[in-house]
Amino acid sequence: MDNFNLLRRVSFVAMVILCVTGCKNGNPPEPTISFDQALLKSNGRMQIMNGQAPPALDWENIAFMPSPPNVNPIPVPWQSGLGGRKIDDDIINDYKKKDGWELVYNTFNTSQVYNPSYFMLYNKYKGIIRTYFYFVTPSAYPSSNISYLLTLRGAKGPQSPMLNFAAKDIIKVDSNTNEVSQIQAYTVSNTGSWYATDFELAYDKNTSLTDFNDLQLNWSINPNTISQITLNGIETGTISGTVTQNKPELIFSVI
């Protein structure tokens, strides 16, 4: 498999705060804080951009993404009839606040254009984190698919179970996963396009207590091309038998 890296590799770091309320019989419930309060805590802040916090985004009630004056506006990724987007149909219309989606990170603003630009949502009901990327490449890449890689970094990364649900169906409680990937059958376009994917996150009770520098999420995109598949080895065996089809049974109802 030949791996063609984008001129600017899509990579960012963000802190995810997961707050779950629960209690056991005989034990008082642990104190909880809201999502917004967690982001204001010094150990739970989002990564700043150029010395400022990421801009707010009312993604549910806009038709175009925020952009500077005299810049061609970018439609929201779920706009009806929008062509060229590289987003699976099963997630394209799933973005509303009433369904649990909250803004985690955003780079779209009215003063500067980033390439890539992106915003991240988290579903508090499903434990899913999703990122929408918009970027333009100088030329088309000979890719047959796009791979997404989500990695936990920092000193506390190996101790966090955050990516365990996204990595496998059967999970060992004493074995954590620090890296997960996903492949989508889309090609990279040289015109501006939307790309999106999501991963399920497991609850980590230590997240809100961990310093930002010790636990980070790194999300990257790479176009791939499979030029040749080679199978080695010898397969032998015989399959014998008879294939039959049962005659349908006629059922009558007499009144």
**Taking residues 23-43, what's their average pLDDT?**
36
**pLDDT tens digits for 100-124?**
999 999 999 999 888 889 999 999 9
Please answer whether residues 182 and 197 qualify as being in contact, where contact means their C-beta atoms are separated by less than 8 angstroms: yes
Question: Residue 217 has which token pair?
Answer: 């999420």
Other beta carbons within 10 angstroms of residue 237's beta carbon come to 4
> pTM above 0.75?
no
**Taking residues 5-14, what's their average pLDDT?**
38
At 127 the pLDDT is 93
CA distance 154 to 196: 25
**pLDDT tens digits for 130-150?**
999 998 877 666 778 888 999
At 139 the pLDDT is 66
At 135 the pLDDT is 84
**Taking residues 87-101, what's their average pLDDT?**
94
**pLDDT tens digits for 37-90?**
333 333 333 445 455 677 889 999 999 999 999 899 999 999 987 877 899 999
At 136 the pLDDT is 80
Please answer whether residues 223 and 183 qualify as being in contact, where contact means their C-beta atoms are separated by less than 8 angstroms: no
pLDDT bin (cut points 50, 70, 90) of residue 168 is: confident
Q: Is 33 exposed, middle or buried (0-12, 13-18, 19+ CB in 10 A)?
A: middle
**Taking residues 4-11, what's their average pLDDT?**
36
Range of lowest pLDDT (21-25, 67-71, 224-228): 21-25
Please answer whether residues 112 and 142 qualify as being in contact, where contact means their C-beta atoms are separated by less than 8 angstroms: no
At 92 the pLDDT is 93
User: Is residue 66 reached through a cis peptide bond, with omega within 30 degrees of 0 on the bond before it?
Assistant: no
Give me the residue label for tokens 């999106």: 196
Dihedral sign for Cα atoms in the order 39, 167, 8, 154: positive
At 235 the pLDDT is 62
Residue 189 has pLDDT above 50, yes or no: yes
Q: Average pLDDT over the chain, rounded to whole?
A: 74
